[in-house]
Chains A and B, each alone.
Chain A
């Protein structure tokens, strides 16, 4: 099957600054995919190259099999991008903005779909309001609507929930999940890792222009062995034997980090021996955030010329 998005040996430099250092990535149709990484990792640059907003220094990118340079018209029809920056055209109303955007894609009589998007994104009340008069969250919704106006099979959202309230976030994801169920491929970037964990099947983690991890959320999480244990004790003292496991104290609880689940037995034995009463005990599974922190902390950036991961 033709991948929804395919990037091969993508390099991008701005003068001496190396922003993308040979990215290889393949995203299959129907995936819900997250591109994660700290600020400046190169996520937006990669998206912009796929969208034709930025030119690669070398490498290729294809959307639904269409090269973004040599077949840019087809590639752009296949792609809807919600940009990171909150941009808008102050001359027009919400509906005008959407009708015009739809026209750029050569679509006539697209009114029914435009009304549907307006409805789904809760923009009905504001449809005839000038863009200038909208709040930030509303402008963000219009950007989402603009990206969907030509029903692209591949939808890329670059930090769509940055600075957006919880209600809108939930509404937005409900709609995007529905689109994903209907077969659209979704790629998103976000700094909310719990969001990526809840929504996405696969993630790529980027650091300084490299993909440093690429796997399903489940595999990434299970790659982090062990767990954490949260304990509230009476009296409130940790036996000396357990001191070395303690990683932090939180609100009167001790957090212990265990390399393996089997260590729980040792912990229990030590507590019994010290005759401490356990008031509260929680075993915490590692989450995507923990994986992210470990990968970003430990990963050494490979030098140019070495093999990709």
Chain B
């Protein structure tokens, strides 16, 4: 247990020491999104009856910030350690591949939650965002960050250069988040795009998370949570296999 806790502590200390970049900067950029989109679209979009567009936007942006930062945490930590070579300090130790996996994922969750909570608290100063069920909010926040933390581990192990990681981020993570219904509700889309959105696991995370705030969603939150949990199990299994074999890290 001490080994796992130490690695977790090291991962937390790592992002906390550069908290300006890892927590504060993403909060600012998320709030900028909120400012711009709400200003541009306030008059034109009505997502849920009786919910102002800006207020509708808040949970989606909070979730997006959490997902992106959870991904960034594990993936950038791993690729930095690989490229600078200091990953060997972990590989030389008796830490098991499971401990390594859970430490990286937990640190990602903590960073995701720190950024998400930060954004949420700031928006509360300006807008009246309801919170219908804290439990649903928490469940989706945890599952979503954990899933992206695990995907980040895969990306960090797979990528050999920073550009490859950037490509993964730009061509996989970013489209999936933008097309997940952060800025709109899915029923407002043409049928083809609706169908496509339902194949996107990020959609279920956003939709379920939003349910926790407005008690309204496109899909049953139970179903969404099931999808997200299933994705987490599948991705974790794959990540654990990679770590167990030492894929790209033990030659």
Asked if A53 and B92 sit within 8 Å, CB to CB, the answer is yes
Contact partners of B88 in chain A: CB under 8 A: 53, 83, 87
Tell me the minimal C-beta distance from A11 to chain B in angstroms. Answer: 15
Tell me the minimal C-beta distance from A99 to chain B in angstroms. Answer: 8
User: Which one of A53, A81, A88, A106 contacts B86 once the chains associate, using CB atoms below 8 Å?
Assistant: A88
Instruction: Decide: A52 near B3, CB < 8 A? Known: A87-B85, A89-B84.
Output: no
Asked if A91 and B89 sit within 8 Å, CB to CB, the answer is no
Whether B234 is near chain A, meaning CB under 8 Å from some CB there, is no
Asked if A104 and B90 sit within 8 Å, CB to CB, the answer is yes
Among B13, B18, B81, B92, which residue has the most Cβ atoms of chain A within 10 A?
B92
A81 to B95, CA, bound (A): 16
User: Which one of A73, A79, A101, A106 contacts B89 once the chains associate, using CB atoms below 8 Å?
Assistant: A101
Contact partners of B10 in chain A: CB under 8 A: 92, 100, 103
Asked if B85 and A104 sit within 8 Å, CB to CB, the answer is no
A100 to B5, CA, bound (A): 10
Chain A residue at smallest Cβ distance from B15: A91
Whether A85 is near chain B, meaning CB under 8 Å from some CB there, is yes
Asked if A51 and B5 sit within 8 Å, CB to CB, the answer is no
Interface residue tally for chain B (C-beta within 8 Å): 28
Asked if B2 and A106 sit within 8 Å, CB to CB, the answer is yes
Interface string of A69-93 (1 = CB under 8 A from B): 0001110110101010101111110
Contact partners of B95 in chain A: CB under 8 A: 104
Chain A residue at smallest Cβ distance from B81: A89
Whether A105 is near chain B, meaning CB under 8 Å from some CB there, is yes
Instruction: Decide: A103 near B94, CB < 8 A? Known: A54-B251, A89-B84, A89-B86.
Output: no
Asked if A52 and B91 sit within 8 Å, CB to CB, the answer is yes
A55 to B247, CA, bound (A): 11
In the complex, chain B residues 64-93 whose Cβ is within 8 Å of any chain A Cβ: 81, 84-86, 88-93
Contact partners of A79 in chain B: CB under 8 A: 92
Interface string of A134-177 (1 = CB under 8 A from B): 00000000000010000000000000000000000000000000
Whether A300 is near chain B, meaning CB under 8 Å from some CB there, is no
A101 to B93, CA, bound (A): 8
Asked if B3 and A106 sit within 8 Å, CB to CB, the answer is yes
Among A14, A83, A106, which residue has the most Cβ atoms of chain B within 10 A?
A106
Chain B residue at smallest Cβ distance from A48: B251
Chain B residue at smallest Cβ distance from A131: B86
A136 to B151, CA, bound (A): 36
User: Which one of A81, A85, A103 contacts B6 once the chains associate, using CB atoms below 8 Å?
Assistant: A103
Interface string of B6-37 (1 = CB under 8 A from A): 11011001100110000000000000000000
User: Which one of B7, B14, B86 contacts A104 once the chains associate, using CB atoms below 8 Å?
Assistant: B7
Contact partners of A107 in chain B: CB under 8 A: 2
Interface string of A18-47 (1 = CB under 8 A from B): 000000000000000000000000000000
Interface string of A194-215 (1 = CB under 8 A from B): 0000000000000000000000
A98 to B89, CA, bound (A): 11
Whether A273 is near chain B, meaning CB under 8 Å from some CB there, is no
Asked if B94 and A73 sit within 8 Å, CB to CB, the answer is yes
A91 to B107, CA, bound (A): 16
A72 to B250, CA, bound (A): 13
Contact partners of A74 in chain B: CB under 8 A: 94
A74 to B96, CA, bound (A): 11
Tell me the minimal C-beta distance from A154 to chain B in angstroms. Answer: 13
Chain A residue at smallest Cβ distance from B90: A104
Chain B residue at smallest Cβ distance from A108: B2
Asked if A76 and B93 sit within 8 Å, CB to CB, the answer is yes
Asked if B92 and A51 sit within 8 Å, CB to CB, the answer is yes
Contact partners of B246 in chain A: CB under 8 A: 55
Instruction: Decide: A90 near B94, CB < 8 A? Known: A55-B246, A101-B89, A107-B2.
Output: no
Tell me the minimal C-beta distance from B5 to chain A in angstroms. Answer: 7
Asked if B84 and A90 sit within 8 Å, CB to CB, the answer is yes
Can you report 13 A-B residue pairs in the complex whose CB atoms are below 8 A from each other?
Answer: A14-B251, A51-B92, A52-B91, A53-B92, A73-B96, A74-B94, A76-B94, A81-B92, A87-B84, A103-B10, A104-B7, A104-B93, A106-B2
- Beyond known contacts A87-B88, A106-B2: 11 more, CB 8 A cutoff: A14-B251, A79-B92, A87-B89, A91-B18, A96-B13, A100-B9, A104-B7, A104-B95, A105-B94, A106-B3, A106-B94
